[in-house]
Each structure stands twice: as C-alpha cells, then as structure tokens.
C-alpha cells in the first residue's frame, strides 16, 4: 500500500512554525516513501475560521515549497458524510444520545475535582436508549475494558487503559460534528496510512483509535512529534519573536533556511547541519525523530539564513530582493547593477531586510549620518584627509578598485596617518552608516560622480559642526 500522509491545519490564524514543522515532516515522509501528501483544512470551527487564514496557510505552504498531491479538502464540505457515519455508529450501538444538562456536567466535574479524580463523563445516559431531541448530543460508547495500544513511530509503544477514557461527544446539540469524529472520518476516507502530528494530540489518539475500530476501519500508523519550546524552556509563542511562517518571509528569511532549521528541530543525521531539499528527502525517517521537546534558537536560524544568502546565486537573489527594495521605499533606477552589488554584499548580511538596508546608499542619497559614527570619525582633523581624497579622485580617470585603493594608500603615506584615519571617514562619508565591504570595491560600485558628491557633502558637514 502506498504511503499517504496529511497536514490538517485549522484556519483560525496564521501558519506557525510548529505547524510548519509538522507539515514538513509529513511532506518529507511521503516524499521519502514515494507516497502522497494531502492537505486538509479543518474549518469546522465556523466562528474562528476565516478565508484570510486559509489563504495565509496556502501562501505559507507555497513559500516553503511544501507541494501537496491532493487537496486542499475542506471539512465544512463533508457534513453530510459525518452525519452518515454518526448514524452508522448509532445504528451499531457504538454511540448514543445524551441529554445531560450543562449544569449537571458542571456539578459532576466540580465533585470529581474535589475528590482529586480525573474529570470525565460518568456514562449517565449510556444505557437510557434516549431518542434524538433538541437538547441531545451524541456520545461515542467507549469500551469499558481493555487497553488501547499505540505503536508510535516516535514514542514507541504507548498503552492507555480504556477506563481512563470517557464517552466523548461526537455530535453537538446543534448537529455539528466534533473534532475527534471528523478527523477519524477524514483519515479513513482519505486512506491516510501515517498520521504525523504534534504530541499535544496524543490524548486524542486512543479515542480516535476506538472510533476507527468501531467502524471496522484500518488504523493508520501514528507519529507524535514533540513540541517546540522557546529558548527559555516555555512553549513557543509570540513573546519569543516571530512564530508566523510569513512573518519570517517579511523579516527577510529564505524559505530553504527556515526549512533547514525546522527539520533539525527534533531530528538529526549525525552532526550534519546543512541539508538541501534532496538530502532531507533522502535521509529523513520519522522513527529518528527525538522524543524530547526542542528549543527554538533564533541565533541558529540567523546563522543558517546567512549561509543560504551567502551561497545563493546572485541573479536569483536579485529577483528575491525586488519586493524588499520596493517595501524599503527606494528604486534601482539610479545606481549600479543589483547582481554586481549582491556579489559583493550578500555574504555580509543575516537577512534580506538587512541586506536591503545595507545597499540602500548605492541607490539613494542621504543627508544624515550615523550619529555615533559621525562623532567619532568626522572631526576637524579629518577635513584635510577628505579634501585630499576628493582632489585625487576628481582627477582619476580609471575608476576601478585597484586605482581607487591606490589613492587611499597615497593619502595614508602623504599625510602620514594610519589607514583607519583615512578608510573609516571615507566609508562613513559615502555610506552614511559606516558599513560596507572593502572601500575600493564599494567606491567602484558607487561610481565617481556620487563619490565626489558625498565627499563634498561630508566636508561641508564637518565644517558646519566645527564652527
């Protein structure tokens, strides 16, 4: 039988990194085994599910390159099927109507908690043989004896006694199905062979297995993946920084960097850190997923992102930079070829947003300087240095890095100052922030005209602040 995995998010918000990792593991396992990966949208929570969230999930999947073979399928399109299965369970005696009031259930819960018992339904209506009414729900008749055994690919064998479980509601009084019922029906109908999901679902698994058994359905293999924690050991949330997949895109991360980082959360292959998509597919196996929770390390993600930016084809990177440059509010009309710029700059930045800002000075003029740098570099003693550079560059016809560098050396030797006394003020004068690759390559990219304009601007600035 062909392997069939699924990713089944609820469209009640963005796709977070925990969900993205689950999707990635399911996608990798299907690709590794030559099977199918199915996308299912669990949108039965009508109050919280939104079209905007659906689009955010689909956009995130596309950005990450997690292509699906079937879907997206929507649970709200399957209500007739759920109704049919609920009736089947009622007819077989594996489900029953219950009219216990909310007040009774609340009192039962309080009494159980007061006695330090696990809160659960007591089976009050189990044998009453009630008929359907406006106030009734449908409950699944869970077995009273025996164990549910889960042969989990990650956690190994997990055994739960049926006495630990209660008769869960599978249809609410308004006729809508509940999560545990819809998941079972969908996995059954879609012939899902392997369910890879977060271990926060482990409590649901024995209930779902019992429903599947009552339907005489084939059981999938389960793999429950440990949660992702923040670097403080607490469950990952907004307080730890970005958790939305598309926020990482906005912040200038490459999809391959985020994919590489996520695959290493709870899975490893020796000491290898960098994985191409092909290597992930070839090497991944769900049985190798760690059982302990993983801590999200933003510094590690930045390191990976920098690696991928540095090794990216500059032409491809130039295409990916277009939207970031547009959002930053400048154009490439009046500046050097972007691919040539990236060839020099791409190894210096952790994110595309940072890269966008670092190259801004090549395309957009400025009239302010980094205050801290200006105070340190733009002193009265700097004036003759910048004026000498301006004079020499004015007469330089061969505007290439080697000749540009020779002017800096001449200035150092003629004025008998250290290289830093020349290079740093020059860098600040032309960039405004004092950050750039080697100054000769930077000036070659900037061009003669802009270099002279900015040297003159810096000279005037120093004169003004020195008065």
Task: List, by residue number, the catalytic residues.
Answer: 238
Q: Pick from 201, 205, 202, 214: which is nearest to 86 by CA?
A: 214
What does the alpha-carbon distance between residue 242 and residue 296 come to, in Å, rounded to a whole number?
11
Q: Pick from 256, 362, 357: which is nearest to 306 by CA?
A: 256
Q: Can you read off the two tokens belonging to residue 155?
A: 């956690």
What does the alpha-carbon distance between residue 385 and residue 395 come to, in Å, rounded to a whole number?
16
C-alpha 234: how far from its chain's center?
18
Q: Can you read off the two tokens belonging to residue 348?
A: 């210096």
How are the residues of the chain apportioned to helix, strand and coil, as percentages rounded to the nearest 5? 50, 10, 35
Residues 6+ apart with CB under 8 A from 105: 121
> Backbone phi, then psi, for 152, in 5-degree steps?
-80, 135
What does the alpha-carbon distance between residue 369 and residue 350 come to, in Å, rounded to a whole number?
23
Residues 6+ apart with CB under 8 A from 100: 121, 124, 125
Q: Say if CB 188 and CB 119 are below 8 A apart.
A: no
Q: Pick from 420, 419, 434: which is nearest to 374 by CA?
A: 434
Q: Pick from 301, 316, 43, 61: which is nearest to 177 by CA?
A: 43
Cβ density class 349-381: b for 16+ within 10 Å, e for less:
bbbbbbbbbbbbbbbeeeeebeeebbeebbeee
Pairing of strands 137-140, 95-98: antiparallel
Which residues partner with 149 through β-bridges? Answer: 159
Element containing residue 370 per DSSP (H, E)? none
């Amino acid at each position: 039988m062909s392997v069939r995995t699924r990713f089944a998010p609820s469209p009640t918000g963005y796709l977070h990194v925990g969900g993205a990792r689950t999707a990635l593991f399911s996608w990798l396992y299907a690709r590794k085994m030559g099977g199918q990966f199915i996308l299912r949208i669990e949108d039965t929570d009508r109050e919280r599910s939104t079209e905007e969230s659906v689009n955010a999930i689909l956009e995130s999947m596309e950005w990450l390159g997690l292509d699906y073979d079937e879907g997206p399928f929507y649970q709200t399109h399957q209500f007739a099927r759920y109704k049919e299965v609920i009736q089947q369970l009622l007819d077989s005696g594996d489900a029953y109507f219950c009219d216990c009031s909310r007040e009774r259930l609340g009192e039962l819960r309080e009494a159980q908690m007061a006695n330090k018992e696990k809160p659960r339904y007591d089976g009050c209506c189990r044998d009453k043989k009630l008929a359907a009414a406006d106030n009734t729900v449908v409950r699944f008749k869970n077995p009273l004896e025996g164990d549910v055994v889960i042969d989990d690919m990650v956690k190994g064998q997990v055994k739960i006694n049926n006495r630990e479980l209660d008769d869960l509601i599978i249809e609410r009084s308004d006729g809508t199905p509940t999560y545990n019922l819809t998941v079972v029906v969908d996995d059954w109908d879609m012939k899902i062979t392997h369910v890879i999901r977060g271990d926060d679902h482990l409590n649901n698994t024995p209930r779902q297995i019992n429903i599947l058994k009552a339907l005489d359905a084939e059981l999938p293999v389960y793999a429950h993946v440990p949660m992702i924690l923040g670097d403080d050991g607490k469950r990952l949330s907004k307080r730890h920084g970005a958790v939305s997949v598309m926020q990482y895109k906005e912040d200038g991360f490459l999809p391959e960097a985020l994919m590489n980082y996520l695959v290493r959360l709870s899975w490893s292959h020796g000491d290898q850190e960098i994985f191409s998509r092909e290597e992930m597919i070839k090497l991944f196996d769900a049985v190798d997923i760690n059982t302990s929770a993983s801590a999200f390390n933003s510094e590690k993600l930045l390191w990976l992102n920098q690696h991928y930016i540095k090794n990216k084809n500059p032409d491809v990177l130039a295409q990916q930079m277009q939207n970031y440059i547009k959002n930053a509010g400048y154009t490439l009309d009046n500046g050097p070829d972007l691919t040539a710029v990236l060839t020099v700059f791409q190894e210096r930045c952790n994110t595309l947003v940072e890269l966008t800002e670092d190259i801004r000075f090549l395309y957009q003029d400025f009239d302010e300087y980094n205050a801290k740098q200006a105070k340190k570099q733009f002193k009265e003693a700097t004036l003759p240095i910048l004026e000498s550079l301006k004079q020499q560059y004015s007469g330089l016809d061969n505007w290439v890095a080697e000749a540009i560098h020779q002017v800096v050396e001449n200035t150092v030797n003629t004025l008998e100052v250290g290289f830093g006394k020349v290079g740093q003020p020059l860098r600040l004068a032309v960039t405004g922030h004092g950050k750039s690759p080697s100054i000769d390559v930077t000036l070659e990219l900037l061009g003669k005209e802009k270099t002279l304009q900015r040297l003159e601007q810096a000279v005037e600035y120093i004169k003004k602040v020195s008065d």
